[in-house]
Amino acid sequence: MWRKVTSTSFSSLKSSLFFTRLHLQQASKHNAASASAVSRFATIAPLQEKDGRCPFITFVLGGPGSGKGTQCIKIVETFGFKHLSAGDLLRREMVSNSEYGSMILNTIKEGRIVPSEVTVKLILKEMESSDNHKFLIDGFPRSEENRIAFEKISGAEPDVVLFFDCPEDEMVKRVLSRNQGRIDDNIDTIKKRLKVFEALNLPVIDYYAKKGKVHRINAVGTVDEIFEQVKPVFKACEKAFNRS
């Protein structure tokens, strides 16, 4: 369980995430979609530190088939993160008799983005129940609505944003040969997902690039070659992993 922040511990936690949280909480500009998502989440507490350590959050972004999930497995093995795939969480929710099941199914089939209130809730539940404090959040945020809802509800920002930059023809080739039986791995849905990626996800990458948080990875090459680009990003953060 995340430890609650007490007023006595707060002064020592002013740096990094906690300072950002205060800043975010004081910010007054939120779009309408996010505001309504947030109001429905009033019962979810902002992320707290665990065992005296702040959560270390990495967003893993890139188009469909760019290799996000594949690289996350390697990051987990080497750096000990907890991997949370937004797509996997939504697919699990979809088959779990959830009230959102048919909405998620239709949205994924169409390559559109599930409303943030559903996805953020699933992600925060997993973060809260994990023993780990280092998170790879894969395939999220996929839109500005996702981003704003997460930051507002959790009170946190990512420490690192990885962007796997891959040409469209390579992404299409990989998705069509993925063979995981996914309802969205077909050419019609892929075309829609690529359009949605460009229209909704690139603005999120731009937003974090302006904040100096994006590490662009050339996603063409072997899995190991790509991981060689990823490794130094986290090696440079090792001190920050255990900050309090």
Ligand X SMILES: Nc1ncnc2c1ncn2[C@@H]1O[C@H](COP(=O)(O)OP(=O)(O)O)[C@@H](O)[C@H]1O
Ligand Y SMILES: Nc1ccn([C@@H]2O[C@H](COP(=O)(O)OP(=O)(O)O)[C@@H](O)[C@H]2O)c(=O)n1
Positions in the binding site for ligand Y (CB under 6 A): 64-65, 68-69, 85-87, 90, 107-108, 111-114, 119, 139-140, 142, 146, 184, 193
In degrees and rounded to multiples of 5, residue 114 shows phi and psi of -65, 140
Give the nearer residue to ligand X in terms of CB position, either 34 or 85.
85
Distance in Å, CB of 129 to ligand X, minimum: 23
Question: By three-state DSSP, how is residue 135 classified?
Answer: strand
DSSP string, 39-97: HTTTTSPPP--BTTB--EEEEEEESTTSSHHHHHHHHHHHH-PEEEEHHHHHHHHHTTT
Residues 90, 94, 100, 105: is their CA dihedral positive or negative?
positive
Q: Can residue 62 be called a binding residue for Mg ion (CB under 5 A)? A: no
Q: Does the footprint of Mg ion cover residue 69 (CB under 5 A)?
A: yes
The 48-67 contact track toward ligand X, x by CB under 6 A, reads --------------x-xxxx
Q: Are 62 and 174 in contact (CB under 8 A)?
A: no
Distance, first Cα to last Cα, the chain: 16
Window 150 to 209, contacts with ligand X (CB under 6 A) = 174, 178
Q: Residue 133 binds which one of ligand X, Mg ion, ligand Y, none, with CB within 5 to 8 A depending on kind?
A: none
Q: Which of residues 66-95 bind ligand X (CB under 6 A)?
A: 66-70
Q: From the list ligand X, Mg ion, ligand Y, none, which binds 174 (C-beta under 5 to 8 Å, kind-based)?
A: ligand X
Stretch that binds Mg ion, among 62-70, 118-126, 171-179, 222-230 (CB under 5 A): 62-70
Nearer to ligand Y, 21 or 143 (CB): 143
Work out the burial of residue 71: count CB atoms within 10 Å of its CB; fewer than 13 is exposed, 13-18 middle, 19 or more buried: buried
In angstroms, how far is CA 86 from the centroid of its own chain? Answer: 7
Pick the closer one to ligand X by CB: 27 or 223: 223
